[in-house]
């Protein structure tokens, strides 16, 4: 634990973790002890709280190293901006930072700070560096803050952190991988007040992003306009048009291991966007449309491409059309669904036919959350198979 008003939530976190059977050793910084008393955490965890790097009784046997070896997971909650900076810089000037450096266990952080501190370029650079080093960043959440401001910076709730711990079993099948998911519709402007769009709610794509996070991946979610909250622990980038989504994807794609194109990206967009509102002056209006950028194809054609997953929303000949898209766009896997009769859009459940070169699997109707978990397990399986298939010939 580090110092911050969110330290009071850590007591509930310890209680919930121990209730689920975890053995919890609490380590507190000096700042954390200014907000809550160590005795509270000793009572909840059943173990004396550690806080001193120079504790003579513990350090006689190199206690900080022993503690680092003992831990199966190091979860820093709350993680202050100062601690994130010190961890990114490799500092070891207190017990907690030394423990993080000396442990071979996964290190997770749950940031908690003022929304301007979180948005500061230095903090964002530190978080990006930690993520690159496989430190898992959980949150922060968006909401009211103790300072009276509103924005991103709240520590995730104890139940969310507990679910993340036990869902992952510390190292999921995609641990250490970067997964990029696109979700939701795009809007293509006709004039300053009108646009062309589609019926996608983004629910399936958001569920996929959450499932990727639970599989241990670092997840970036690029979303069109939707009324959904970002899954905790997922980095979200908001866009509106197909061109904006294309640019956002290619800004991060070089660092991506798996790309999942779940967004309903416009196939066509207006050839021109009127500078002023189009007035109703006649009984008919002709619109000239031009092709929007094909993000899936652009990613699949990269020289050093990631594993590419597409979605196909079809109204007829589901498997034939999906197989055609799989081959034509050179995808590694495609998830197809039947959207005829409005049976998918804005609903909480779905079913998928998943195809890949030489294989298929039907995922039966269930909640989009459960379906996304099943789909992500299959993606991890096929991704692993594709990596094993890359064999370097022996010389000579």
What would the mean pLDDT of 230-255 be, rounded to a whole number? 91
- Catalogue all structural domains in the chain, each as residue range(s) with its CATH number: 7-168 (3.40.50.1950), 178-271+288-388 (3.40.50.10300)
Q: Is the pLDDT of residue 147 over 60?
A: yes
Higher pLDDT: 229 or 187? It is 187
Tokens for 174, please give them.
């995609």
Quick count: other Cβ atoms within 10 Å of Cβ 114? 18
Q: Is the pLDDT of residue 170 over 70?
A: no
Please state, in angstroms and rounded to a whole number, the distance separating the CA atoms of residues 339 and 316.
Answer: 9
Helix and strand element counts for the chain (H, E): 15, 17
How do strand 289-291 and strand 307-314 relate by DSSP bridges? unpaired
What is residue 252's predicted lDDT score, i.e. its pLDDT?
A: 94
Q: Which of 39, 43, 147, 385 is catalytic?
A: 147
pLDDT at 391: 46
Of 157-161, 228-232, 279-283, 308-312, the poorest mean pLDDT is in 228-232
Q: At what angle do helices 81-88 and 121-132 cross, to 10 degrees?
A: 50
Contact 105, 134 (CB under 8 A): no
Dump pLDDT digits (tens) for 48-65.
888 887 665 554 444 567
- State the Cα–Cα distance between residues 240 and 242, nearest whole angstrom: 7
Distance CA 9, CA 1 (A): 10
More confident residue, 231 or 182: 182
Say if residues 242 and 186 touch (Cβ distance below 8 Å): yes
Residue listed under structure tokens 């599989």:
215
The CA-atom distances, in angstroms, between 204 and each of 157, 175, 207, 260 are: 24, 22, 5, 11
Per-residue confidence (pLDDT) for residue 139, from 0 to 100: 82
* Interval 321-373: pLDDT, tens: 999 999 999 999 999 988 876 666 667 788 899 999 999 999 998 889 889 99
Higher pLDDT, 21 or 206: 206
User: Measuring CA to CA, which residue among 322, 349, 350, 320 is closest to residue 335?
Assistant: 322
Beta strands (DSSP E) in 316-371 are: 333-338, 349-356, 359-367
Percent of the chain scoring above 90 in pLDDT = 40
d(CA 373, CA 287): 41
pLDDT band at residue 134 under the 50/70/90 scheme: confident
How far is residue 220's CA from residue 232's CA, in Å, rounded to a whole number?
A: 11
Mean pLDDT of 249-277: 92
State whether residue 30 is helix, strand or coil.
helix
Q: Catalytic: 100?
A: no
């Amino acid at each position: 634990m580090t110092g911050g008003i969110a330290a009071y939530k850590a007591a509930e976190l310890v209680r919930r973790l121990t209730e689920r059977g975890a053995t919890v050793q609490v380590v507190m910084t000096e700042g954390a002890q200014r907000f809550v008393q160590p005795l509270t955490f000793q009572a909840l965890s059943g173990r004396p709280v550690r806080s001193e790097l120079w504790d003579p009784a513990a350090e006689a046997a190199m206690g900080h190293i022993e503690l680092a070896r003992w831990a199966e997971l190091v979860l820093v909650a709350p993680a202050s901006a100062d601690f994130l900076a010190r961890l990114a810089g490799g500092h070891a000037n207190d017990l907690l930072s030394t423990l993080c450096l000396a442990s071979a266990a996964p290190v997770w952080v749950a940031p908690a700070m003022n929304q301007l501190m979180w948005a500061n370029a230095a903090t964002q650079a530190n978080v990006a560096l930690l993520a690159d080093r496989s430190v898992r960043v959980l949150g922060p959440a968006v909401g009211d803050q103790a300072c009276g401001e509103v924005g991103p910076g709240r520590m995730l709730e104890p139940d969310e952190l507990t679910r993340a711990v036990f869902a992952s079993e510390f190292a999921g099948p995609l641990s250490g991988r970067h997964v990029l998911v696109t979700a939701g519709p795009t809007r293509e402007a006709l004039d300053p007040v009108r646009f062309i769009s589609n019926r996608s709610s983004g629910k399936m794509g958001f569920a996929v992003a959450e499932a990727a996070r639970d599989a241990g991946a670092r997840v970036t979610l690029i979303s069109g306009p939707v009324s959904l909250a970002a899954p905790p622990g997922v980095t979200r980038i908001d866009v509106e048009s197909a061109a904006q989504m294309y640019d956002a994807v290619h800004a991060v794609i070089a660092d991506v291991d798996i790309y999942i194109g779940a967004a309903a990206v416009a196939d066509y967009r207006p050839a021109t966007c009127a500078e002023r509102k189009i007035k109703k002056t006649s009984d008919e209006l002709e619109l000239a449309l031009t092709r929007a950028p094909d993000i899936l194809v652009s990613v699949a054609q990269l020289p050093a491409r990631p594993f590419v997953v597409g979605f196909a929303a079809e109204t007829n000949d589901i498997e034939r059309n999906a197989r055609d898209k799989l081959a034509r766009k050179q995808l590694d896997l495609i998830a197809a669904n039947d959207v005829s009769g409005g049976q998918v859009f804005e609903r909480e459940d779905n079913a998928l036919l998943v195809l890949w070169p030489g294989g298929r699997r039907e995922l039966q109707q269930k909640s989009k959350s459960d379906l996304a978990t099943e789909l992500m397990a299959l993606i991890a399986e096929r991704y692993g198979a594709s990596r094993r298939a890359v064999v370097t010939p022996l010389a000579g």
